[in-house]
Structure 1
Amino acid sequence: MTDTDHAAQPTSAPADLASSVLVLRPDDHVGVATRDLQSGTELGLAEGGTLAVRQSVPRGHKLALRPAAAGDQVRKYGQSIGRATRDIAPGDHVHTHNLGMADDERMYEVGTARTRPPVPAAPRAFDGYRRSDGRWGTRNYVGIVTSVNCSASTARLVADQFRGRALDAFPHVDGVVALTHDTGCGLVPTSEGAQITLRTLRGYADHPNIAALLVIGLGCEMLPAASVLDGLELPPDKPVRTLQIQETGGIRRTVRAAVAAIEEMLPQVDALRREPAPVSELVLGLNCGGSDGYSGITANPALGVASDLLVAHGGTSVLAETPEVFGAEHLLLRRAVSPEVAQRLLDRIAWWKTYTAAGGGTLDNNPSPGNKAGGLTTILEKSLGAVAKGGTAELTAVYEYAERVTARGFTFMDTPGYDPVSVTGLVAGGANVVVFTTGRGSVLGCKPTPSIKVATNTATYLRMSEDMDLNAGRIVDGTATVAQVGQELFDLVVEVASGRQTVSEELDLGADEFVPWQLGAVT
């Protein structure tokens, strides 16, 4: 080949920006890389010219599209995600080295963006267990609730007697689950922490997925076994037994008595059958964990679509994780049905500011190291993506941790961001299905409620396919839309509510993830 021939060879054109970077709003300062971008990569712009990548940008991280001077707000989702801590040029990798928190005043408007999803043309139903109090279960468990950590080992010994083939004769019983925890004594019974623990235990005792109940206490604890049931109006068709280890004669005798009590309950629980119920009887818990740069683009908005579909059918969805709403609370306030609902949300955020300050921290201690490795930089950015799980429906109610959820529509519960504690509160409040979105890869289960896990990106889904129920990464891949994945997820919620097992159920996960929120002094 001559020099002339070599010079005549065409050079490859730079890849289009849109093929490598998601731009969420026209006025955003940053886009999200959909593949690893090496320093020096040239990306073609739709308006002509190119954008040169100045530092390598990992997949899921932010690429600067326009300049920002030190101190300027940086926008993503059309909202501020912080302030530049140094000058940022187009093509820069935007992350913790040049973007910081900006807790600026946000404009609070109440009820200015209230919407109601259109009523569907045809009603949907699921196959559930009708309880005599009017609620519906999606599972049929025998629950062992412990009043104190001192009875935890005993409860586990009892539940272990019903593993393997022990329930083969009772095909309509989903299992015997021991709900154990680390508290119940050494605290002031009237304190906020003790009341939260008690409210959580009572929420599980009263849960529609618990068809029969055994409460095991030690006998001398500050929150005695009787307190779990006192004043609790359990449905008359739920068999209930209470045992105290000290009165029964120790661990071995308590285990024998507990096993005998459950064996008496099993035929009654097994006699129950699923029957059609309107999907308006579903209470859907919305949670995320191990989030990444795609969470607010794929799985969370898709879950928002599913939430809106459920609300449109008259059902209930419950957003949670107050520390991961901070910075996006103004968007929820615009959807509040009343000033009272809006104020309840603001009150909980104010409580969290005081609570974290007392511990020497701030709400921007979140995101976690894993979140940051996945591309999230500030709590503002994380929260803007997290609230997408709640769709667009109006906000009808705000609840404290583990409070019984009674309102229809889209609601909120005050919980920590720590996944097991958050989901425990949602289930205690009555969630009979949970959807859990994850970018880094979470393996959470939450007996007695099924947990549907949704991967935000295809790489995580393929790497952890045996732990994921749905791949929302197809949205970034360009093979599905948010609306399509949202519809799939809604359909999956109905199927799981009707008895389809999730991958966490196949692995028998969910007992160890019962983690009530612990507050207050231990004496």
Structure 2
Amino acid sequence: MSVHQKVLKIHSKDNVIVALTDLKKGEQIVHENQVYEIQNDILAKHKFITESLNEGDSVYMFGVLVGKAKKTIAKGDLISTTNLIHDTEAYGVNDSDKQEVWEAPDISKFVNKTFEGYHRADGKVGTENNWLVIPLVFCQNRNVEVLKQALIEKLGYGKKQHLGLDVDGLINDYTSGVSTEAILEKNILTDGEDHSKNPLFPNVDGVKFLTHDGGCGGATSDSIALCNLLAGYINNPNVAGATVLSLGCQHAQASILQDALLKMSPNIQKPVYILEQQKSISEKELLAEAVKKTFVGLIEANKIERKPAPLSKLVIGLECGGSDGFSGISANPTLGYVSDLIVGLGGATVLSEFPELNGVEQELINRCTNPEKASKFSSIMSTYNSKAEALGAAFSMNPSPGNIKDGLITDAIKSAGAAKKGGTSPVEDVLDYTEQVVKPGLNLLCTPGNDVESTTGLAGSGCNIILFTTGLGTPTGNPITPVIKVSSNTKLYEKMNDIIDFNAGAIIEGTTSIPETGEVLLDYIIEVASGKQTKARQLRQDDFIPWKRGMSL
């Protein structure tokens, strides 16, 4: 992509062109020796048609079918929800398909690089060392909050908020009779939080108190899935151990959690303390026991120190949210290049959000290393979409108003760009929700398109770093796994620099390439894996939403 290039045709098969800058009606655009007269004002990130189309004609982008014309569309016309409807190719598994030989990108710059991580007894390496306090059922949420109030500040993890807000000053102004006009004009921002090491437990990055609305009522299968998810969080290499609160009578029984954890890690050596309220003398006794065991657990966790680890120990989740029309041509391909580098180095990457792989199923099926994995992916996709349709939804309804406003007109367009996060390497494994990453290479993990439900699932399957691309901006983070936010455009990075970590927008501007940006991002990942705090960590953005599969898309 050259500097100041106005438009981009992504694939030779495409009959749409992306506007990299705003285009005016009547403007003449020359691209690849073709002249296009723009029929409407077209904002950057949106697309126009390269040839006249009749109703029902196919529209291609990223080399795949992404929709069909709802009516006649003239050459140079803007595509929008008024003239384009979602459409995708059929897909299937062919036992005779042969896997092409994949060539990894040049990894020589990174072969000898390491990160400073926490080595676990099972051979995994964490990028953080966290202690978990989690409820098995929603009626323990209050007790978790009480423990948080009792412990977090005393242990040195909650002294000041990152974005200091001087509420005391407002109270003083009010009691002193200061006018509301003066209060509204007052600057109440104060200095940010000091992120120096915790003085009591310097090797424990955080104590994370999770709450949720599951564990009882609803579908029993959701309670079982919740236990599997929580077991995955405990099993994650970023976690040193856990305090688990149970009521006793709920669907999400402690025995289900324990069985799931032993299945994931038969020789687990992490301390896990399970306390059941209905066996306790009183709530105060329960809380006192929880405080003591958590404190002892932190003493043990603090004995582990960061030590060098090869990059093959990285398990990187690939996520997008608040996507725009540039996501699929800057930030997402950058993650794809990073994914290929990590796979080449012997590590693992995980592509999630199955509703946002709609339309590129065949490409991913063809990349699966064996027919069984391809069949599993095909089955999960078709079953998921059928269930969504039965509930009055469908994959085709996935794009949000923000996605559509910024150029992602159909789910197929969104998916074709989202899939670029998975790079080009073979698909080594296909995982259903809460299944653990056990193979190096690219993994596909079934999660919904909902950002937080998906990042929650990535951490639950073992990711020790999550890369999260965005074109519109989001503060999303995760309690146990650092989330690195990557912007698709420079304007967003400059506007929301307090929540975005890394900018891929220079690719759109033509001043750098995807491989160059990917290599810089991998260096940044190594810093985060070694203890550098992401913006989400600084803001304490610990989002955690388990997926209720019958209710979310």
Separation in 1, partners of 2:219, 2:7: 54
In the TM superposition, what are the counterparts of 1:17-28 in structure 2 within 5 Å?
19-28=5-14
Q: Deviations over 1:403-435 (max 9, x none)?
A: 111011011011111111111111111111100
In the TM superposition, what are the counterparts of 1:51-450 in structure 2 within 5 Å?
51-106=36-91, 110-117=97-104, 120-121=107-108, 122-164=111-153, 166-167=155-156, 168-187=199-218, 189=220, 191=221, 193-230=222-259, 232-233=261-262, 237-450=269-482
Give SS of 1:440's match: coil
Using a 3 Å threshold, how does the CA distance of structure 1 residues 17 and 81 change in structure 2: closer, same or farther?
A: farther
Q: Deviations over 1:327-357 (max 9, x none)?
A: 1011111211011111011011111122112
Q: Deviations over 1:140-162 (max 9, x none)?
A: 11101211011112112212333
Give the counterpart letter for 2:548 in structure 1: Q
Q: Deviations over 1:44-93 (max 9, x none)?
A: 45537x53321111111112222222211112122221111112222211
* Structure 1 residue 236, shift from structure 2 partner: 5.5
2:164 matched to which residue of 1? none
Give SS of 2:479's match: coil
Using a 3 Å threshold, how does the CA distance of structure 1 residues 322 and 114 change in structure 2: closer, same or farther?
A: farther
Give the counterpart letter for 1:221 in structure 2: Q
Separation in 2, partners of 1:314, 1:297: 26
Using a 3 Å threshold, how does the CA distance of structure 1 residues 357 and 44 change in structure 2: closer, same or farther?
A: closer
Using a 3 Å threshold, how does the CA distance of structure 1 residues 123 and 218 change in structure 2: closer, same or farther?
A: same
Give the counterpart letter for 1:224 in structure 2: Q
The answer to whether the 8 Å contact 2:99/2:369 transfers is no
1:518 matched to which residue of 2? 548
The answer to whether the 8 Å contact 2:27/2:38 transfers is yes
Gaps of 5+ in 2: 157-198
Using a 3 Å threshold, how does the CA distance of structure 1 residues 411 and 460 change in structure 2: closer, same or farther?
A: same
TM-score calculated relative to the size of structure 1: 0.91
Moved over 6 A (4+): none
Q: Deviations over 1:431-471 (max 9, x none)?
A: 11100111111211011010001011111111111101111
2:189 matched to which residue of 1? none
TM-score calculated relative to the size of structure 2: 0.86
Give SS of 2:436's match: coil
Q: Percent identity?
A: 37
Give the counterpart letter for 1:28 in structure 2: D
* Structure 1 residue 370, shift from structure 2 partner: 1.2
Q: Deviations over 1:473-499 (max 9, x none)?
A: 110011211111111122222221111
Q: Deviations over 1:266-318 (max 9, x none)?
A: 22211210111111111111111111111110000000000000000100001
Gaps of 5+ in 1: 1-15
Question: Which is worse superposed, 328-337 or 231-240?
Answer: 231-240
Using a 3 Å threshold, how does the CA distance of structure 1 residues 345 and 46 change in structure 2: closer, same or farther?
A: closer
Separation in 1, partners of 2:482, 2:334: 19
Give the counterpart letter for 2:37 in structure 1: A
Separation in 2, partners of 1:264, 1:106: 54
Question: Which is worse superposed, 23-32 or 472-481?
Answer: 23-32
2:494 matched to which residue of 1? 462
The answer to whether the 8 Å contact 1:146/1:152 transfers is yes
In the TM superposition, what are the counterparts of 1:501-512 in structure 2 within 5 Å?
501-510=533-542
The answer to whether the 8 Å contact 2:54/2:73 transfers is yes
Give the counterpart letter for 1:515 in structure 2: I
* Structure 1 residue 509, shift from structure 2 partner: 1.3
1:13 matched to which residue of 2? none
Equivalences, count: 501
The answer to whether the 8 Å contact 1:207/1:430 transfers is yes
The answer to whether the 8 Å contact 1:17/1:43 transfers is no
Using a 3 Å threshold, how does the CA distance of structure 1 residues 126 and 17 change in structure 2: closer, same or farther?
A: closer
Give the counterpart letter for 2:499 in structure 1: D
Give SS of 1:484's match: helix
Give SS of 2:498's match: helix
Give the counterpart letter for 2:6 in structure 1: S
* Structure 1 residue 112, shift from structure 2 partner: 4.2
| RMSD (CA atoms) | 2.1
Give the counterpart letter for 2:225 in structure 1: I
Separation in 2, partners of 1:53, 1:213: 60
